[in-house]
Amino acid sequence: MSVSDSVDKSREAKEGVDVIPEGGWSAWLTVLGSFLIQFCGFGYTTSFGVYQDFYARHYLTNSSASTISWIGSVNAFLVVSGGLVAGRLFDRGYFYWLLYGGSILISFSLFMLSLAKPNQFYQIFLSQGLGHGIGAGMIYVPSIAILAQYFRQRRSLVMTIVASGSSLGAIVHPIMLNNLLNSPLGFGNTIRANTGLVSGFLLISCLLMRTRLPPPTRVTSLRKALRKFSRDTAYIFAVTGMTIFTMAFYLPVFFVQLDSATRGLNPTFSFYTLVILNASSFLGRLTPGPFIHKLGVGNIITGACGCCAVMIFAMMGIKTLPEFVVFGIIFGFFAGSYITMNGPLMALLTDDFSELGARMGVAFAFIGGPINGALLGDELIWWRASVVSGVSFLIFWFLKLKGSDKS
């Protein structure tokens, strides 16, 4: 029996709850619901590269690439940092309020996005940046944390499956958007069609997902929880590393399609650069699951991050179609492997089940939007963003090694 299994069993005995079922209809239906939430939430956010390209060249031509990138940056920040509040509310038993409220806000915000007019930056920022970001932030962390109520031994494997939902979304959304935005359908009808897809999946999630445990009778105050977290050295290193990692991660996700388009490559191929990256990320998120118990969460994260650092530095030199394909495949795979390990890492560092939502929320709260848009500038100077992002990956790799030593 592993140390984590012993901790989990003693936790169950202490809290007086039934043994975690490790499966069953309710469990797997909840997994499916969580998968669809990732598809509609973070999967939509990591498809912003399509919007970045379309806005910069067609719809927000009066705004710079740096300004436009703040729409996606704020959206990404709110999706993950919203966990600071959503995680605490989840721990207090407000899962259904978060699920239903977040789903409604996402659908409403995307519908309002379809009404935004050309060169009206504030309309797009409010609906896509703030509206969708807040809505997705309400359900992102709870949809992952709820899995711990159903799984212990399979927890890491199930979390990798759920995390792959965002990669699948980041494949489907760009294909759909690229084909419809550049058709006679137009911007408004394209967004409404995409909103229908997202709303349908969110409705299914609301019908499928169920909590297994009643709210805890005692929930530690946020101040006490933060004080406890601040004394957990391994947790602090993990959170710091995740923050720095994210500074680099969004460079390819937001800008690879625009990069390929500005280098004069075939427009049809440019539309699929982000799809190639995200398709590889989908495989990368599924691959670590069977190897977690053998290799360990920390080792997988460290190796994946080191490979990402190498590829980000290589991004400075890519100019041709084959180079973009190779970059997308390799970077996407290892970035996906890293991202899918975030949930298992937080679960591994949590010794009190009632704190899982809060720990995940605090960790994700420090993951902000990228600064790469500002580094690119109006002249689209790619090497500056690549250097900063590559160095960020190396810093995360170093922090992860130090964190492993501390833990």
Torsion of CA 342, 345, 351, 352, to 10 degrees: 20
Report how far residue 301's alpha carbon sits from residue 288's, in angstroms, rounded to the nearest whole number. Answer: 10
Name the residue range of residue 189's domain. Answer: 22-212+222-406
Q: For residue 379, tell me if it sits in a domain.
A: yes
CB 150 within 8 A of CB 265: no
User: What distance lies between CA 250 and its chain's CA centroid?
Assistant: 10
Q: For residue 14, tell me if it sits in a domain.
A: no
Report how far residue 146's alpha carbon sits from residue 139's, in angstroms, rounded to the nearest whole number. Answer: 11
Q: For residue 43, tell me if it sits in a domain.
A: yes
Report how far residue 263's alpha carbon sits from residue 99's, in angstroms, rounded to the nearest whole number. Answer: 42
The CATH number of whichever domain residue 189 belongs to comes to 1.20.1250.20
pTM: 0.72
Q: Mark out the alpha helices in 265-320 (DSSP H runs).
A: 267-286, 292-295, 297-314
Q: For residue 16, tell me if it sits in a domain.
A: no
Q: For residue 385, tell me if it sits in a domain.
A: yes
CB 47 within 8 A of CB 169: yes
CB 338 within 8 A of CB 305: yes
Q: For residue 370, tell me if it sits in a domain.
A: yes
Q: For residue 217, tell me if it sits in a domain.
A: no
Between CA 79 and CA 295, with CA 334 as vertex, the angle to 5 degrees is 105
Nearest in space to 34 (alpha carbons), one of 269, 263, 259, 340: 340
Number of domains in the chain: 1
Q: For residue 204, tell me if it sits in a domain.
A: yes
Q: Walk along the chain (407 residues) and give the pLDDT tens digit of each residue.
A: 443 444 444 444 444 445 777 778 888 999 999 999 999 998 898 888 889 889 988 899 898 877 888 898 888 878 877 877 888 888 888 899 999 999 999 999 999 999 999 999 999 999 999 999 999 999 988 998 898 888 877 777 788 888 889 889 988 999 999 889 988 899 999 999 999 999 999 999 999 999 887 776 666 666 676 676 667 777 777 777 776 676 667 677 767 777 777 777 777 777 788 888 888 888 888 787 777 777 777 788 878 877 887 887 787 778 888 888 898 899 889 888 887 777 677 767 766 655 555 566 555 555 544 454 454 445 544 444 445 545 555 555 555 555 444 44
DSSP per position, 350-396: -SSGGGHHHHHHHHHHT----SHHHHHTTTT-HHHHHHHHHHHHHHH
